[in-house]
Structure 1
């Protein structure tokens, strides 16, 4: 009869030295103010000065998306006369709040 070997299932640290180049890859980041649905009729009637109301309340955090996936939430700030975002929550790949 064959002897059973014990298999070590302890997770091993990943050697990232072979994939360090991945840190130079750039990804598109978008900050989402809000979302809403518009009828085609309303969309066709948009003109300069039209206001589109979003479904998000003004005090709610903004969503930070990378390639469409929610990765963080935060608040708008001004940095050198440009918009920025102060991250207040980081979202795990599973969708749970990390920080």
Structure 2
């Protein structure tokens, strides 16, 4: 205790404890029952079913994703980068004929091969990674 406080003076409450108490009080419903996460957040899967329903999939169907295909990559110095000019060739680490890696929002999702259709490049998906393979690539 400091010299300024006498033993009879009230102790200043912890602001974090006050905030937690306020939050707990605000979560109480009008009936006085405590709102649990089960009533606030509903499961998007049908009760007792392991697979999401069509309605649940429709809810996430409009979420935008960025799909990218990677031929390969190259490391170079800034000096080498600045010396590039039209007609320069940058050698990538990917081998010719090797499958492309397909990423969805920067996460490896599948592998495929380049195709040309009506003067547009496309990708034919040859392999989709299993969930366990995707988790392995997330850890890298």
TM-score interval, normalised by the smaller of the two chains: 0.7 to 0.9
Q: Which runs of 4+ in 1 moved over 6 A?
A: none
| Normalised TM-score (structure 2) | 0.55
Distance in 2 of aligned mates of 1:92 and 1:28: 20
Greater Rg over alpha carbons, structure: 2
Distance in 2 of aligned mates of 1:94 and 1:81: 36
Structure whose residues are more often strand by fraction = 1
1:42 equivalent in alignment to 2:80: yes
| Normalised TM-score (structure 1) | 0.76
Question: 1:49–1:90: structure 2 CA closer, same or farther, 3 Å change rule?
Answer: same
Question: 1:15–1:42: structure 2 CA closer, same or farther, 3 Å change rule?
Answer: closer
Which has the higher mean CA deviation after the structures are superposed, 32-41 or 12-21?
12-21
Structure whose residues are more often helix by fraction = 2
Unaligned runs of 5+ in 2: 1-47, 135-140
- Structure 1, residues 54-90: CA drift from partner, whole Å, max 9, x if none? 0011021011111111101011001221000000110
2:112 to 64, 67, 74: 74
Q: How many residues end up aligned between the 2 structures?
A: 86
